[in-house]
């Protein structure tokens, strides 16, 4: 995030009581959503309740119910009550998909492009290095091409056994591996 982009918690909304959470436009809320845009521009503009829109928008961006509730200014239990409403549940499912896309994008980024991490010596940062996640890459491959990259415990046991045979010449490993 650059210095020009305001963070959504720079001006957090004031939490409101549960009875106000059912109002369409509480008087204590500004007319803008979390992105600073007009609520009509939101992917959830069709949701009439502003607090629900705020929650759905926050959830679609962070993927965490507790964090989305904190950002929206409500409690997580309000979300669970809202789930009884079929329209809200439909909107939440859309937010769930959006959050999943965001999380998947993050996983692909960490696996393929990596992230910069500091290198420290005697408590002082002396350099940085790019770290990649082989585990996330393997999970992405398994998810996208399961017929080619299926991973199972049996595969892991066979790999461990082969490694022991190559390195130590062990034919009989403990634990039936």
pLDDT tens, position by position, 61-117: 899 999 999 999 999 999 999 999 999 999 999 999 999 998 999 999 998 899 999
Poorest-confidence range of 1-5, 85-89, 166-170?
Answer: 1-5
Q: Residue length, the chain?
A: 177
Average pLDDT of the chain to the nearest whole number: 74
pLDDT value of residue 34: 47
Rounded CA separation 30/34 (Å): 10
46, 39 contact by CB (below 8 A): no
Confidence of residue 167 (pLDDT cuts 50, 70, 90): low
Q: What is the pLDDT of residue 117?
A: 94
pLDDT of residue 141: 85
Q: What share of the chain is helix, strand, coil (3-state, %, to 5)?
A: 55, 10, 35
Total-model pTM:
0.57
Strand partners, 125: 120
Round to whole Å and give the CA distance between 139 and 133.
10
């Amino acid at each position: 995030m650059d210095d020009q982009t305001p963070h959504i918690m720079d001006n957090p909304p004031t939490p409101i009581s549960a009875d106000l959470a059912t109002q369409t436009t509480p008087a204590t809320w500004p007319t803008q959503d979390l992105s600073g845009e007009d609520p009509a521009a939101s992917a959830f503009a069709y949701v009439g309740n502003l607090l629900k829109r705020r929650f759905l928008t926050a959830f679609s961006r962070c993927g965490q119910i507790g964090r989305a509730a904190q950002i929206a200014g409500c409690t997580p239990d309000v979300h669970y009550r809202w789930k009884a409403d079929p329209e809200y549940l439909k909107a939440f499912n859309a937010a769930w998909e959006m959050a999943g896309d965001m999380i998947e994008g993050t996983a692909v980024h960490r696996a393929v492009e990596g992230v910069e991490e500091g290198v420290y010596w005697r408590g002082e940062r002396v350099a940085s290095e790019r770290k990649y996640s082989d585990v996330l890459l393997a999970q992405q491959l398994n998810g996208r091409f399961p017929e080619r990259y299926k991973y199972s415990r049996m595969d892991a046991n066979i790999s461990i056994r082969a490694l022991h045979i190559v390195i130590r010449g062990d034919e009989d490993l403990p634990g039936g591996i």
